[in-house]
Structure 1
């Protein structure tokens, strides 16, 4: 049987390989280095060198690669050993310090830009919750000390740590602005007293907040200020605008009086009674106390009407019976009844002086002019059809004006209090009431807080 061609070649190749393996020369490390160096010199080609040394070309390139890798590793090892020298360590330390300085300057520059862009660090500035949180984040992520970072931002440390404590305990909601007013005011008026003030205002709607405050203090022996009464009534929608126009005098009387019955002011004003015509009110007003001493509703404005009113004033004040060094002086305008010789004779017989204001200058008699305006603002709110009805309305208002209406220019006293000499005692009593009330409110606040 005929065999395939390849079957005979396998044993032959195997024999050749065995012969080559047995006859292969083993090169030492020095010989390998010599052969590789000769190839690197380039005097002969690599193929010729390999034939002369009896090695394969692939084996030469394998030795060359190993030689170069070993040299590279050797060089790397020398570099690592040299890098551990003191000089290199010092350079590394300097490089690290420079990097840290650059980082510090970069951070400081960024913080300063943030400060100027946002306006941080201004004295008395109020920060919203978002900016407070951003400042906290800046301090937390800064590698600088907190004191130095806050100094760059211009934020006081006490302020920052107050924010930070609220942030740690309440979160971002704790950074919201809280009202500066206390949760409870120690001087707050009790609810019972508030109800009594409102009740008094409803019972006497004609009283202003100022008059209500004084009336409540005098009657209830409990102090409340005008401002408190005004706020309370405004909250209850009980404040109304006046139904009349208030006119203030431009000037004041230069020679101020110092006691009652030193100077009396007098003047006429007119009222109309439906179906009867005009009536004229003659009034004697004490300049110091604004007290209406005497008044008459007349049908004319003659001198006899003036003298009759003056007689009533002398009797009411007791100046007709008392022996005094100086009787009251009379201040009036230049009306015909006041410049007459008849009035001059009558006053000379009573040992009284008469002073008249400058023509076309009613501000000299400003107090009685203001009294007439106050009277008409109240009395003329209704129409009158009988003289008696008008006279009764005037009498009721004069009694209210003298004894019940608190006059602001008199320190919230009535004209009767000043005219009859009760002013100092009333003011002293109000001062004591105020002190007791404040002490009572403070004690109530302490009991509630406890």
Structure 2
């Protein structure tokens, strides 16, 4: 053992001088391939037909979920068996969009903003200040540019306080763009402050208010994701002395977020590094559509092609 290590120690410097990699020198030819094992047992044809029937009637489910459904229906099948059937029958193919999905995506694209001040989102998040309890940050963001229009810290999220945050957002937008030429959409959830009559009255002539479905925070996903950034890059780094200290630091964060921090969703149309919200909202820089929005844009063309193919098949029949 020791002699072998000494031999190796003397050999490596020599290989280095010769320019030969030690890994190549010590490489050994691969062992002989293993003998093939026993042939796989053929799949039970009756059970296989049952799996195919269920898969045909439920094309939106993968083999794992379908295995559970089959067992709940009284068929003794394993996940491995269903996977084997899927593989044998070519059911593992990539999912194709249905015409209904293409239609919904095409309609969705019509609602997506293509310029600043077309669609805003507003929401409330919690911030704890030591010695003062829970306070609330009412945030308003421009969907297209991701520009943070307002981050209003308040002791309550009543309708007047939320309305005050909206007014701050309007002032910021008008400071940079002048009076709003078109009435923006304002998307909120169904919080009591957004349902209150005082809030509805305050925004009546200024916005087209759209509320998300109940218990679906993902429909307000842009702001939900922004709140995660707010917490990770500001709130979780600070122990605020008092509400005024919190306001000052949140205002510094808003400036940093808008002016300095590159946003991955803001990819310049001509390529290059990611832009900041200020580049897009204030300087009107052109950006590429996010991939999922590009899918929605192309859905209209795909839908037209699918409908045309159906029409040709009907004429041929």
Q: What's the counterpart of residue 257 of structure 1?
A: 113
Q: Deviations over 1:131-168 (max 9, x none)?
A: xxxxxxxxxxxxxxxxxxxxxxxxxxxxxxxxxxxxxx
Q: What's the counterpart of residue 391 of structure 1?
A: 247
> What are the within-5 Å matches in structure 2 for residues 40-55 of structure 1?
none
Distance 1:259 1:273, change over 3 A: same
Answer whether contact 2:151 2:254 (CA < 8 A) is retained: no
| Partner Cα separation in structure 1 for residue 144 and residue 180 of structure 2 | 21
Instruction: Give the one of 362, 365, 373 matched to 2:217.
Output: 362
Q: Which portions of structure 1, spanning 4 or more consecutive aligned residues, are displaced by more than 3 angstroms? A: 173-177, 252-255
Post-superposition offset of 1:175: 11
Post-superposition offset of 1:365: 1.0
2:271 is the alignment partner of 1:414: no
Q: What's the counterpart of residue 258 of structure 2?
A: 402
Post-superposition offset of 1:346: 1.9
2:203 is the alignment partner of 1:341: no
Larger Rg computed on CA atoms = 1
| Partner Cα separation in structure 2 for residue 292 and residue 332 of structure 1 | 15
Q: What's the counterpart of residue 143 of structure 1?
A: none
The alignment's TM-score, normalised by the length of structure 1, stands at 0.37
Post-superposition offset of 1:321: 5.8
Instruction: Give the one of 300, 314, 329 matched to 2:170.
Output: 314
RMSD: 2.7
Distance 1:375 1:323, change over 3 A: closer
Q: What's the counterpart of residue 140 of structure 2?
A: 284
Post-superposition offset of 1:322: 2.5
Distance 1:323 1:357, change over 3 A: closer
Q: Deviations over 1:317-362 (max 9, x none)?
A: 11896262x3111100000011122222222233x21001111111
| Structure (1 or 2) with the greater helix fraction | 1
| Partner Cα separation in structure 2 for residue 391 and residue 406 of structure 1 | 23
Post-superposition offset of 1:299: 0.5
The alignment's TM-score, normalised by the length of structure 2, stands at 0.52
Task: Tell me the number of residue pairs that the alignment of Structure 1 and Structure 2 aligns.
Answer: 178
Tell which has more relative contact order, 1 or 2 (C-alpha 8 A, sep 6+): 2
Distance 1:414 1:277, change over 3 A: same
Q: Deviations over 1:5-32 (max 9, x none)?
A: xxxxxxxxxxxxxxxxxxxxxxxxxxxx
Answer whether contact 2:159 2:196 (CA < 8 A) is retained: yes
Q: Deviations over 1:112-143 (max 9, x none)?
A: xxxxxxxxxxxxxxxxxxxxxxxxxxxxxxxx
Post-superposition offset of 1:260: 0.2
Distance 1:362 1:316, change over 3 A: same
Distance 1:321 1:402, change over 3 A: closer
| Partner Cα separation in structure 2 for residue 257 and residue 355 of structure 1 | 14
Answer whether contact 1:276 1:385 (CA < 8 A) is retained: no
| Partner Cα separation in structure 2 for residue 321 and residue 354 of structure 1 | 21
Answer whether contact 1:289 1:415 (CA < 8 A) is retained: yes
Instruction: Give the one of 365, 370, 373 matched to 2:228.
Output: 373
